[in-house]
């Protein structure tokens, strides 16, 4: 649905929507995101990771033709690629779009596939951030599966947040806790990512993801031993954006 809103910025749109839908459920937020002209044209961005099937199922029930953008970094686990095909078929998702870096960009910046060993931020920019930004150019908002409990940088997450000068991010599961996720998956008999049973509660690219020990933070296996919590697709100007920017700052 085209954007129809008299708001001067995404921060104003996000503030309006958070007030309007503050006490709604996750499914209600998705329903509104797909139909509210204040949100505009929407895509779901999914990693098809450990918990991704929850939002994918909600979307399949509401509107299975919703664009689903899957970032294939070409460094994913084989299990993730197989799981993506399995889930898309099982849920009847009819508009999954594979997003990749161009061959030219990869050959220029990472010809031997070792950039992640030297500079994980540059690798994420090459293989995730830039391709996703290009794929999102036709949308006013995108839906993510981020949740407050996942890391410190997400602790203040709201349902709606600004994403640069033009777009919104929609986080329907922002207020869910781990038991909510598991209960939804069990109650709806959803397929699990095969790596979860092998100790991977959070799954990214194979070279930068390791198993997590009992008692560790679920995201401890992402970029282990590095001062890094996000791949970069949830950053603006190098900062995690969790709501309207402070006065005087611009995106």
> Which residue's entry shows tokens 């869910």?
176
231 annotated active-site: yes
Measure the CA–CA gap between 206 and 120, rounded to whole angstroms.
13
CB burial of residue 105 (10 Å; 0-12, 13-18, 19+): middle
Measure the CA–CA gap between 33 and 6, rounded to whole angstroms.
17
* Selected catalytic residue, list 123, 124, 205, 231: 231
Cβ atoms within 10 Å of 182's Cβ, excluding its own: 12
Measure the CA–CA gap between 155 and 151, rounded to whole angstroms.
7
CA distance readout (Å), 30 to 21, 35, 57, 142: 11, 9, 11, 11
Catalytic residues: 231
């Amino acid at each position: 649905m085209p954007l129809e809103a008299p708001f001067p910025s995404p921060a104003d749109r996000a503030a309006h929507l958070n007030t309007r839908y503050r006490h709604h459920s996750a499914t209600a937020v998705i329903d509104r995101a797909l139909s509210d002209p204040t949100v505009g044209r929407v895509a779901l961005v999914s990693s098809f990771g450990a918990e991704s099937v929850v939002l994918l199922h909600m979307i399949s029930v509401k509107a299975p033709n919703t664009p689903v953008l899957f970032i294939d970094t070409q460094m994913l686990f084989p299990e993730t690629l197989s799981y993506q095909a399995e889930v898309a078929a099982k849920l009847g998702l009819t508009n999954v779009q594979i997003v990749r870096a161009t061959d030219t960009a990869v050959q220029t910046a990472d010809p031997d596939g070792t950039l992640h060993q030297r500079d994980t931020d540059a690798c994420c920019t090459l293989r995730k951030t830039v391709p996703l930004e290009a794929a999102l150019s036709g949308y006013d908002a995108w839906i993510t599966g981020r949740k407050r409990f996942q890391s410190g940088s997400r602790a203040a997450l709201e349902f709606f947040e600004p994403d640069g000068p033009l777009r919104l991010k929609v986080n329907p599961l922002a207020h869910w806790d781990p038991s909510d996720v598991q209960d939804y998956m069990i109650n709806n008999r959803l397929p699990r990512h095969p790596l979860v049973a092998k100790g991977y509660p959070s799954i990214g690219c194979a070279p930068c993801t390791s198993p997590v020990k009992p008692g560790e933070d679920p995201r401890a296996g992402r970029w282990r031993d590095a001062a890094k919590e996000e791949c970069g697709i949830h950053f603006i100007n190098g900062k995690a954006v969790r709501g309207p920017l402070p006065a005087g700052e611009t995106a």
